[in-house]
Structure 1
Amino acid sequence: MGCTGSRHALRGGVRSPHAWGRSRSGRAHHTVALKSSTLGSLSLERDEEMMKWRDDGGAGAAKTPQLMRRQKQVPGSPAREPEVINVWELMDGLDDRDEEGDDANAGGEKPAPGSPAFDPDVVAAFRKALDEIPPPPAPDGPGNDEERIKKPDGPGAGGGGDEVCVRKREIQRFPGIVRARVSAFQQRIDAKLAKLAPPPPAVPPPPDSARKVVVYLTSLRGVRKTYEDCWSTRSVLQSYGVRVDERDLSMHAGFKDELHAALGSSAGRLPQVFADGRHLGGAEEIRRMHEAGELSEALEACEMAPPPSCPGGKGVALEACSGCGGVRFVPCEECSGSCKVFVEEAGTFRRCPECNENGLVRCPLCSL
C-alpha cells in the first residue's frame, strides 16, 4: 500500500530526511544492521570501556597538555629505608655535662636561698604539677609500639624529609626522668634549708630533776599496754641502781601539768623518762638504748640509790618502802584524806592546803 517494510528500510531502501540532515552537520552517522550476536558484542565492549573510564576517574579526559608537561618535569625521589634513631644515644652524656656545669659554677656567685632560683614554693608547685600528670595510655596493640616522625632534610627544606622511627616506650620514660631530677633537686634544697634553719629549742627540764631520773608513769590498769610499758621501764631503770623519781599521773594531777609544760602537745603516751633534766624518750627508746648498751652512758650524770639495808634512807631501793609500800603516796595527816579542814575562827570547812585532789601527800620516807 505504499508503506515500506522494516527489512527494506534496514537494507537501505528508503531513508528519512532527518538522517540526511544529520549527516550534513559535520559528524558522520553510520547505520548498522544489528543482529543478536552483534548486539551482545557491542554492549559488552561498551561496558568494558565504561568500566575503564570509571576506574580512571575521568582523569584521562581532564588532563591537559600543560599538566602532562609538569608531571614529566618533576623527578621521582628514590625510595629510602626508614631511619631508626635511638633517643637514648642522643641523651647519653647530658647528665655528665650537667654535673660538670654544676662543678664549674660552684666557684662562682651562688644565688641567695630566698631567690626565685631556689624558692622551695616554686619547686614544690612544679613537683606537684608533675605528680598530677596522668600516666601515658597503654598501646592498643603490638603494632603501636613504634611511631614515625618526619625528619626534615635541612633548615631550608620545604616539605621533603625522611621518616624517623621512634619507640613510644622511650618517649614515655621522659616524664619519669624529669620527675626524678626534680626530686633530687628538692632534696638538695631541703638539705640546704635544714642547715640554715636554727636548731630546735631544747626541751625544758621538769622541776626538781637534777642529778636523778624522773619517770612519768601511771598505775592505772585500764590500758594494759600502757601499764606494762610503764612498769617494764621502771624495772629497767632500777636495774642500773640510780635514783628514780616515779611521778604517777593517776595519783597527782600536778604531774600532768609538769609533763605538758616540758614536752607540750608532743608528750605522747606514757611513760616518759628524763635523766638529769634531759629527755630520753618513751618505753621504746629506753628498751632500744638498753639493748644497744647506750642507756648506761645516758645515766652517768645521775646519782646512785642508797643500799636497801639503809632504813629510812631516801632514794629508790630494790625493796618496797616501809612507809608507803612503794606507792609513793600516803594519806594526808591534816585532813585524813578528806581534803577538808575545819576552821574554828570562821566556823566553816575549807580546802586542805597540804594534800592534792585525792587527799594524798608524797611519802616522806621515799620521796626525793
Structure 2
Amino acid sequence: FQVSTALEFGRIVIYTTSLRVVRTTFERCELVRKIFQNHRVKFEEKNIALNSDYGKELDERCRKVCEIPSLPVVFIDGHYLGGAEKILLMNESGELQDLLTKIERVQHPHECPSCGGFGFLPCSACHGSKMSVFRNCFTDSFKALKCTACNENGLQRCRSCAG
C-alpha cells in the first residue's frame, strides 16, 4: 500500500467514514468534506467504511507519521496534514487557502448520476450478496462461491466517476 508522494503531488486525499455509529466522528468527516467542497478543490475521498483496503492503506501511511489519528485524516501532496481540528483552524486562519493554491479546482461540481457521489455501487455480478452461483459441469447442482468481482461489502468501484 505504499503511496509515492510524487504520485500525489497536487492531490488531496481524505480518509473518512460514512458510518454514523460514533456521531462525532461522522460529523467531523462531514465538516472536512464540506470545507474542501466550499474551496472548490478536487479531492479524493477514501471511505474506510465502504472499503477495508482504505483502512489498511491509512494504517500503513500513519505508521510513517508515528501517529494514530482519528478520522478524518487529510494528506496533501502525499504529506500528512492533520485531522478535523487542524483543518478547521487552518481554514479559519486562511492558511488552508494558501495551501490550496496549487490544487486543481472543480469548475462545475456535480454528483455522479450512477453512485450519487459515493464512488461505489452494488456488485454487478452478485448484486451485493457477495456470493456467486456457478453450475457444476458434471451434475445439475449449483455451488455458491465467494464473488471475486466485489469487496467485502458487496461493492464495486463506480466506473462512471472513480474508474
* TM-score, normalization by structure 1: 0.39
**Maintained 8 Å contact 1:355/1:361:** yes
Distance 1:211 1:345 in 2: 51
Structure number having the greater helix percentage: 1
1:226 to 8, 11, 25: 25
**Maintained 8 Å contact 1:245/1:367:** no
1:278 to 79, 102, 106: 79
Distance 2:3 2:135 in 1: 44
**Secondary structure, aligned partner of 1:238:** helix
Q: 1:1-48: per-residue Cα shift (whole Å, max 9, x none)?
A: xxxxxxxxxxxxxxxxxxxxxxxxxxxxxxxxxxxxxxxxxxxxxxxx
Which structure 2 residue ranges, 5 or more long, are not aligned? Answer: none
**Matching of residue 359 in structure 1 with residue 154 in structure 2:** yes
Residue in 1 that maps onto 2:117: 326
**Secondary structure, aligned partner of 1:267:** coil
Number of residues of Structure 1 aligned to a counterpart in Structure 2: 156
> What is the correspondence of 1:141-160 to structure 2 with a 5 Å cutoff?
none
Residue in 2 that maps onto 1:243: 42
Residue in 2 that maps onto 1:263: 62
Q: CA deviation at 1:345?
A: 5.7
| % identical equivalent positions | 36
**Matching of residue 301 in structure 1 with residue 102 in structure 2:** yes
**Matching of residue 289 in structure 1 with residue 84 in structure 2:** no
Distance 1:280 1:266 in 2: 12
* TM-score, normalization by structure 2: 0.83
Distance 1:205 1:241 in 2: 25
Larger RCO (CA under 8 A, 6+ residues apart): 2
Distance 2:3 2:153 in 1: 28
Q: Which moved more, 1:264-273 or 1:246-255?
A: 264-273
> What is the correspondence of 1:164-183 to structure 2 with a 5 Å cutoff?
none
Structure number having the greater strand percentage: 2
| Counterpart amino acid of residue 230 in structure 1 | C
> Between Structure 1 and Structure 2, whose CA radius of gyration is higher?
1
| Counterpart amino acid of residue 211 in structure 1 | G
1:349 to 129, 132, 144: 144
**Matching of residue 254 in structure 1 with residue 53 in structure 2:** yes
| Counterpart amino acid of residue 22 in structure 2 | V
**Matching of residue 213 in structure 1 with residue 4 in structure 2:** no
Distance 2:3 2:145 in 1: 35
Give RMSD over aligned pairs. Answer: 2.4
Q: CA deviation at 1:344?
A: 4.0
Which structure 1 residue ranges, 5 or more long, are not aligned? Answer: 1-202, 309-316
**Maintained 8 Å contact 1:218/1:249:** yes
Q: 1:43-64: per-residue Cα shift (whole Å, max 9, x none)?
A: xxxxxxxxxxxxxxxxxxxxxx
| Counterpart amino acid of residue 351 in structure 1 | K
**Maintained 8 Å contact 1:216/1:272:** yes
